[in-house]
Amino acid sequence: MHSLLRGVLLLITATSYAELPQPHTGLVHTPDVDLATFTYGKPSTATPIIAVNGGPGLSHVYMIQNDVWTRRIAEHRQVIFYDQRGTGASQHLRPGATQTVDAQVNDLEAVRASLHVEKADFIGDSYGGLLASAYAAAHPEHVHTLILSDSAAPGFSRLHPRLEEVFPDVIAKTKEQIDKLHGQANSDAEAADLDLRAHFRMIFYSQELCDRYLANAPDLGFAPATGEAVSKAFANLDLTPQMAHFHFPTLVIQGRFDLNVTPDISWTVAHTIPGAQLVWFEKSGHLPYYEEPDKYVTIVNQFLHDHDATHD
């Protein structure tokens, strides 16, 4: 798998999808793509959240397999997910449509505009943090608050995953399994699935939670071609200069034992964005909302509530 993909991939979580609240679905039409949206919670006076998922090349589904966003945070405000172009339910692309940074930012702006609100709260998870930050740099006037959760921001070029150093056995075994698939029917899809699952086994703090997560993830929903195209488009993006001029409230969340997006990234981001708040999750890897959900909900809800109270 491309090294950039290995650095930021996220997968589907463990809770049964059928047990979760069902969203209001919609389509946002753009010249390039029809973007599928999924809204949780009822309209309220609170600023809505737009959630930007990681990958690249995955749909929003991996973020909604527990009730952190769909019920516990959506209890107080609307939470809007969308599938990025070329993933999930947003597969209807114009022939020749690109995966450039500008295209992805324009899609996110179209989702924001569809809500008919001047400002939204943005949560970017893993690669989604890089995309949300690129949006914030282009459209700061529409950002009420920004939450970066184990985020790849400020850019892929700054990522130095430690997975190969810590898990050489897992990586070697996976390569051996993939080599055995060579030439078999459907080998590419099986190899991608094997690589994803191996990657996932290296991004948790708790082995028990990792096992539970994987046991309930029969379909990891990865679109490799989309992921590869996005990775190439974002490869040289570094938002550090722009982040120094962010003037909206920012919360940076980081799992202490994340070997995928290592803690030094969040430390740098939190000390680059003026006034950013950094919160460590001491028993988490790359997915603190899954490993420490109670703390995650408390921190996010408090941050959003505090800034709702001062929103003009």
Q: How far is CA 55 from CA 131, 180, 252, 279, in A?
A: 11, 26, 19, 23
Whole-structure pTM value: 0.90
Cβ contact 192:57 at 8 Å: no
User: Given this model, what pLDDT does residue 3 score?
Assistant: 37
Please report, in angstroms and rounded to a whole number, the separation of the first and last CA atoms in the chain.
Answer: 46
Instruction: Give CA–CA dist 236/239, Å, rounded.
Output: 10
Cβ contact 8:53 at 8 Å: no
Q: Which residue ranges of the chain lie beneath pLDDT 70?
A: 1-18, 185, 217-221, 309-312
Which strand (E) or helix (H) includes residue 80? strand 79-82
Instruction: Give CA–CA dist 277/133, Å, rounded.
Output: 15
Torsion (CA) 197, 201, 205, 207 in degrees, nearest 10: 110
Q: What is the DSSP letter of 68?
A: I
Q: How far is CA 195 from CA 52, 112, 212, in A?
A: 23, 34, 18
Sort strands 143-149 and 49-52 into parallel, antiparallel or unpaired.
unpaired
| Residue 138: partners with Cβ closer than 8 Å, 6 or more residues away | 105, 109
- Give the type of residue at 262: T
Q: What is the number of other CB atoms lying within 10 angstroms of the CB of residue 179? A: 9
Partners of 110 in the β-ladder = none
Cβ contact 55:227 at 8 Å: yes
247-294: pLDDT as tens digits: 999 999 999 999 999 999 999 999 999 999 999 999 999 999 999 999
Cβ contact 160:259 at 8 Å: no
